[in-house]
């Protein structure tokens, strides 16, 4: 046996250089999240300068920005968790709609039956989360148990759920008539000046950041995305873990559905057709890897912010918001493209 | 060729890991007919055989991936019934794979503790928060004990060289094994110098009292590092002999099944 003190036998000069630890500053500047954050700041400055009397940065408009980003953030964070494990969920937007429809129908029925406001709204929340979780579980089963590619499985589910939501509402009639306290008490409520739904979404994002960064669940998620076979080989329960990720993302979509009906006081059946793809764009722009193994929750927040800022800012300066679609698309391609070119992988 | 013995020798010290007369078929394909091997604590045993001889199947039986149709698997001197990799791991047997053994996006520390994470004490631990400092310290100690030096334990392992990665995989397996470490072609993807380092590591592992079973095509390395060599031929153990008594041509002849004619 060789001597017990560590000698740098394994370290070859050229590999040493590659694997050297980076300083916190290097890591910060190397992170996509940082650059997207700076881009957000630049866009805020630009729109503030271009809008009349800087109305873009007014408190009223800031609140509108936060409120419109809440649902998108919940979807994007859920998707980022799935992407971390190398899985997709294209049905998140349909899940949102389905959850809100089920909750709205349940609440209308309860109001009709003379139930109290508080218990009705609580039931609405439970139905939203439950529907979201059930759809997530179904997706998870198709992917983790039956081994169907997640893109295909959730594409199929997207169609099934959307159709189901249309059938359940008599061909897409939006459901209204549930307690208005849902909107006044939550949807349009502000806490310390910040819209309650935005606070909720940011809290969830923060929680997910902690999970990814500091818990075994987070490590296992990244390990499964990074090398599914290695994860299996070290004895991780991959099937169970992937299932729970789909349920988690589904529940977050359900929560987004609850925010949706609380915000608009009606279901918005036709307003979320591109929600899942927008969530993919936001997560990937922020530095979450499509191939799995890397999640940036911070980047996801800034990615969602980018879409919201562009949408709102272009409208305020009187430009068609169609340009927002182009801008987000272009940023997505440029961000990922730059990453490819600068990647030092062998 | 004179010291050739058939099947499993006597079992005076309890086996770290072993198997007797294992058979395994998949439909009409008989992968193993009568495979036996015995690895004692502190011993390095090489499992050799031509392509299709059943090495991989045999290894998977010992790992708990396949259940044998017949025969016995022994871990720590006890006959065991393995139903999954987790069973074997719980009994103190872990595996080092040729590749795809680590999660490339995770750090060395995270890889070593994958599935064995240490939580913080107290409330934070109740929420599943990890004790990174403790894990880093123990990973560092484990690597030092095997004389493995890495430039950093916190960069993603994809940034390490092939040899460094294999060293991390071995350290990982050693850390969670109490009985035996199985190695599947641990040097196949490595350059000569790095593969010598891995052979040194095998000796370090055996010196710690673990049994080492290594599947390898690298016959010169096998003869140098292993105490004994077991050869499978068409699913059957046809040779179990001290490595010191063997030469590479002997081994090749046995592996391709020329022994019967020669004997």
Place of tokens 């095998």: B202
Q: Do A231 and B114 touch (CB under 8 A)?
A: yes
> Does one domain contain both B183 and B170?
no
Question: Where do the domains of chain A lie?
Answer: 64-341
The gap from C-alpha A68 to its chain's centroid, in whole angstroms, comes to 13
Q: Do B114 and A233 touch (CB under 8 A)?
A: no
> Does one domain contain both B150 and B254?
no
Q: Do A10 and B145 touch (CB under 8 A)?
A: no
The domain total for chain B is 2
Tell me the per-residue pLDDT of B203-224, one tens digit each, with 9 for 90 and over.
Answer: 999 998 999 999 988 888 889 9
Q: Where are the beta strands (DSSP E) in A134-260?
A: 190-191, 194-195
Residue in chain A lying closest to B225 (CA): A1
For domain A64-341, give the fold.
Answer: ABC transporter involved in vitamin B12 uptake, BtuC (1.10.3470)
- Angle of CA points B148, A237, A80, to nearest 5°: 90
Name every chain B residue with its beta carbon within 8 A of the beta carbon of A222: 103, 105-106
Worst-scoring range by mean pLDDT, A73-82, A92-101, B20-29? Answer: B20-29
Q: Do B103 and A293 touch (CB under 8 A)?
A: yes
CA distance B246 to chain A (A): 23
Predicted ipTM of the assembly? 0.83
> For residues B58 and B40, what is the distance between their CA atoms, to the nearest angstrom?
17
Q: Is residue B97 part of a domain?
A: no
Q: Is residue B99 part of a domain?
A: no
The gap from C-alpha A267 to its chain's centroid, in whole angstroms, comes to 20
Best to test chain B binding among A18, A19, A238, A343 (most B CBs inside 10 Å):
A19
- What's the pLDDT score for residue A342? 64
Best to test chain B binding among A10, A223, A295 (most B CBs inside 10 Å):
A10
Residue in chain B lying closest to A9 (CA): B149
Place of tokens 């169907």: A148
**Whether pLDDT at A237 is above 60:** yes
User: Residues A107, A113, A114, A116: is their CA dihedral positive or negative?
Assistant: negative
- What's the pLDDT score for residue B259? 58
Q: What is the CATH number of the domain that holds B26?
A: 3.40.50.300
- What's the pLDDT score for residue B4? 38
**Whether pLDDT at A346 is above 60:** no
Q: Is residue B232 part of a domain?
A: yes
Q: Is residue B210 part of a domain?
A: yes
Mean pLDDT of A186-212: 95
Q: Which of B105, B152, B154 sits opposite A222 (nearest CB)?
A: B105
CA distance A137 to chain B (A): 23
Best to test chain A binding among B151, B183, B195 (most A CBs inside 10 Å):
B151
Name every chain A residue with its beta carbon within 8 A of the beta carbon of B200: 2
Strands of the B211-215 sheet, one edge to the other: B78-80, B70-75, B17-26, B29-39, B236-242, B228-233, B44-49, B211-215, B180-184, B93-96
Residue in chain B lying closest to A17 (CA): B151
> Does one domain contain both B160 and B61?
no
Tell me the per-residue pLDDT of A309-331, one tens digit each, with 9 for 90 and over.
Answer: 998 999 898 888 788 888 888 88
CA distance B223 to chain A (A): 17
> Does one domain contain both B209 and B234?
yes
> Does one domain contain both B37 and B78?
yes
Name every chain B residue with its beta carbon within 8 A of the beta carbon of A223: 103, 106, 110-111, 114
> For residues B1 and B75, what is the distance between their CA atoms, to the nearest angstrom?
29
**Whether pLDDT at A198 is above 70:** yes
> Does one domain contain both B230 and B134?
no
Tell me the per-residue pLDDT of A279-302, one tens digit each, with 9 for 90 and over.
Answer: 999 999 999 988 899 999 999 999
Name every chain B residue with its beta carbon within 8 A of the beta carbon of A10: 148-150, 161, 163-164, 167, 194, 197
> Does one domain contain both B33 and B132?
no
Domain of residue B83, residue span: 1-92+178-263
Cβ atoms of B157 and B168 closer than 8 Å: yes
User: Residues A59, A73, A40, A212: is their CA dihedral positive or negative?
Assistant: positive
CA distance A93 to chain B (A): 29
Closest by alpha carbon to A296, among A307, A288, A306? A288
Q: Do A226 and B103 touch (CB under 8 A)?
A: yes
Name every chain B residue with its beta carbon within 8 A of the beta carbon of A13: none
Q: Which of B100, B158, B204 sits opposite A229 (nearest CB)?
A: B100
- What's the pLDDT score for residue B9? 46
CA distance A293 to chain B (A): 6
Name every chain A residue with its beta carbon within 8 A of the beta carbon of B104: 226-227, 293
Mean pLDDT of A145-153: 96
> Does one domain contain both B28 and B82?
yes
> Does one domain contain both B204 and B77?
yes
Place of tokens 């060289």: B161
**Whether pLDDT at B7 is above 80:** no
> For residues B196 and B224, what is the distance between their CA atoms, to the nearest angstrom?
10
> Does one domain contain both B61 and B185?
yes
- Angle of CA points A45, A46, A50, to nearest 5°: 120
Q: Is residue B98 part of a domain?
A: no
Name every chain B residue with its beta carbon within 8 A of the beta carbon of A244: none
SS3 A327: helix
Which token pair is A65? 């920005």
- Given phi > 0 = left and psi -120 to 50 = alpha, else beta, which region is B39? beta
Query: A108-112, A249-253, A276-280, B194-198: which has the highest mean pLDDT?
Result: A249-253
Instruction: Answer with the one of B176, B202, B223 that is the final residue of a domain.
Output: B176
Instruction: Answer with the one of B121, B152, B176 that is the final residue of a domain.
Output: B176
Cβ atoms of A96 and A256 closer than 8 Å: yes
Confidence at A339, pLDDT banded by 50, 70, 90: confident
Mean pLDDT of A86-90: 95
Q: Is residue B189 part of a domain?
A: yes
Burial A210-240 (b: 16+ CB within 10 A, else e): ebbebbbbbbbbbbbbbbbebbbbbbbbbee
SS3 B230: strand
Instruction: Answer with the one of B116, B146, B176 that is the final residue of a domain.
Output: B176
CA distance B19 to chain A (A): 21
> Does one domain contain both B190 and B248?
yes
**Whether pLDDT at A18 is above 70:** no
Provide the mean pLDDT of chain B. Answer: 87
Cβ atoms of B95 and A233 closer than 8 Å: yes
Place of tokens 């055989």: B49
Contacts of A64 (CB under 8 A, 6+ apart): A312
- Angle of CA points A209, A211, A216, to nearest 5°: 145
Name every chain B residue with its beta carbon within 8 A of the beta carbon of A15: 151, 160-161, 164
CA distance B16 to chain A (A): 20
Q: Which of A226, A231, A233 sits opposite B97 (nearest CB)?
A: A233
Mean pLDDT of B112-134: 88
**Whether pLDDT at A15 is above 90:** no
**Whether pLDDT at A4 is above 70:** no
- What's the pLDDT score for residue A1? 40
- What's the pLDDT score for residue B135? 93
Q: Do A214 and B129 touch (CB under 8 A)?
A: yes
Alpha helix positions (H), chain B: 55-63, 85-90, 108-112, 123-126, 132-145, 162-175, 192-207, 219-225, 248-255, 259-262
Tell me the per-residue pLDDT of A300-309, one tens digit each, with 9 for 90 and over.
Answer: 999 999 999 9
Q: Which of A10, A211, A235 sits opposite B197 (nearest CB)?
A: A10
> Does one domain contain both B1 and B88?
yes
């Amino acid at each position: 046996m060789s001597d017990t003190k560590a000698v740098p036998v394994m370290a070859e000069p050229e590999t040493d250089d590659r694997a050297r630890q980076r300083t916190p500053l290097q890591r910060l500047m190397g992170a996509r999240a940082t650059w997207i954050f700076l881009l957000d700041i630049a866009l805020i400055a630009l729109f503030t300068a271009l809008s009349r009397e800087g109305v873009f940065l007014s408190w009223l408009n800031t609140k509108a920005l936060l409120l419109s980003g809440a649902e998108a953030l919940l979807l994007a964070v859920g998707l980022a968790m799935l992407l971390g494990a190398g899985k997709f969920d294209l049905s998140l937007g349909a899940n949102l709609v389905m959850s809100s429809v089920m909750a709205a129908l349940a609440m209308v029925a309860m109001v009709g039956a003379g139930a109290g406001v508080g218990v009705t709204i609580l039931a609405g929340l439970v139905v939203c989360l439950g529907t979201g979780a059930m759809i997530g579980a179904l997706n998870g089963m198709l992917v983790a148990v039956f081994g169907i590619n997640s893109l295909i499985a959730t594409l199929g589910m997207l169609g099934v759920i959307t159709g189901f939501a249309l059938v359940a509402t008599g061909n897409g009639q939006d459901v209204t008539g549930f307690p208005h306290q849902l909107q006044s008490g939550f949807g349009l409520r502000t806490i310390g000046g910040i819209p309650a739904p935005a606070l909720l979404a940011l809290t969830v994002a923060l929680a997910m950041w902690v999970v990814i960064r500091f818990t075994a669940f987070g490590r296992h998620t990244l390990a499964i995305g990074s090398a599914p076979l290695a994860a299996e080989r070290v004895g991780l329960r991959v099937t169970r873990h992937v299932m729970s990720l789909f349920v988690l993302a589904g529940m977050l979509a359900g929560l987004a559905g609850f925010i949706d009906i609380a915000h608009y006081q009606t279901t918005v059946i036709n307003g979320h057709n591109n929600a899942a793809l927008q969530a993919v764009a936001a997560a990937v722009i922020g530095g979450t890897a499509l191939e799995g193994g890397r999640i940036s929750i911070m980047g996801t927040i800034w990615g969602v912010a980018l879409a919201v800022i562009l949408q709102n800012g272009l409208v305020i300066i009187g430009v068609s918001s169609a340009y927002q679609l182009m801008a987000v698309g272009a940023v997505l391609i440029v961000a990922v493209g730059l990453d490819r070119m600068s990647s030092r992988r062998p | 060729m004179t010291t050739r013995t058939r099947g499993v020798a006597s079992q005076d010290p309890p086996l770290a890991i072993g198997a007797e007369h294992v058979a395994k078929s998949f439909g009409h394909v008989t992968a193993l007919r009568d495979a036996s091997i015995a690895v004692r604590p502190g011993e390095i045993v090489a499992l050799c055989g031509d392509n299709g001889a059943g090495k991989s199947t045999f290894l998977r039986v010992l790992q708990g991936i396949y259940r044998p149709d017949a025969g016995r698997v022994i871990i720590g001197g006890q006959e065991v019934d393995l139903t999954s990799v987790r069973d074997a791991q719980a009994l103190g047997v872990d595996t080092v794979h040729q590749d795809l053994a680590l999660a490339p996006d995770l750090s060395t520390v995270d890889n070593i503790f994958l599935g064995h994470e240490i939580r913080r004490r107290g409330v934070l631990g109740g929420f599943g928060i990890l004790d990174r400092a403790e894990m880093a310290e123990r990973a560092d100690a484990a690597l030092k004990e095997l004389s493995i030096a890495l430039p950093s334990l916190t960069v993603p392992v994809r940034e390490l060289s092939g040899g460094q990665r294999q060293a991390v995989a071995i350290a990982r397996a050693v850390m969670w094994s109490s009985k035996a470490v199985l190695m599947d072609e641990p040097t196949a993807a490595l350059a000569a110098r790095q593969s010598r380092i891995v052979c040194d590591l095998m000796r370090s592992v055996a010196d710690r009292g673990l049994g080492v079973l290594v599947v390898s095509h690298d016959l010169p390395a096998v003869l140098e590092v292993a105490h004994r060599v077991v050869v499978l031929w068409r699913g059957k153990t046809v040779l179990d002999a001290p490595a010191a008594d063997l030469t590479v041509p002997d081994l090749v002849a046995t592996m391709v099944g020329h022994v019967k004619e020669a004997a």
